Amino acid sequence: MPDEQPGAPRLDPAVAARLRRNADGLVPAIAQQYDTGEVLMLAWMDDEALRRTLATGRGTYWSRSRQSYWVKGETSGHTQRVHSVALDCDGDTLLLRVDQTGPACHTGDRTCFDAGDLPLAAQ
């Protein structure tokens, strides 16, 4: 992740202290449609992506493949307006309740989780 700029705003230290990051300094962020509960996607955030999301109300993530920040919908128009952000009990996963405009998945599907259920051996 890029070095912080001197004097740049930082994530609230009280929030940062609650986060349990992986070895790469990232936390998984689940985006959920705020009014239906539909799970839309999973992405990754570092402190700066979370700070930007909280400051702007727009879903901002860290791209592990591009090694850069991205705002959901910035190029596609398929935006996420963030209604709330919650941290789980362990501090290692974020839940963003969003209003998704258009598809959430990069494949053009509404959700990244519509490829079909995996078979369960026992039901």
105 is known to lie in a ligand binding site: yes
Nearest to 80 by CA among 63, 102, 65: 102
89 is known to lie in a ligand binding site: yes
90 is known to lie in a ligand binding site: yes
46 is known to lie in a ligand binding site: no
12 is known to lie in a ligand binding site: no
99 is known to lie in a ligand binding site: no
CA distance 29 to 61: 8
How many angstroms separate the Cα of 94 from the Cα of each of 53, 59, 71, 87?
12, 12, 16, 5
Q: Which residue has the tokens 């402190």?
A: 47
Q: Which residues does the annotation place in the binding site?
A: 88-90, 92, 105, 112
Q: Which residues does the annotation place in the binding site for Zn(2+)?
A: 89, 105, 112
Q: Which residues does the annotation place in the binding site for Mg(2+)?
A: 88, 90, 92
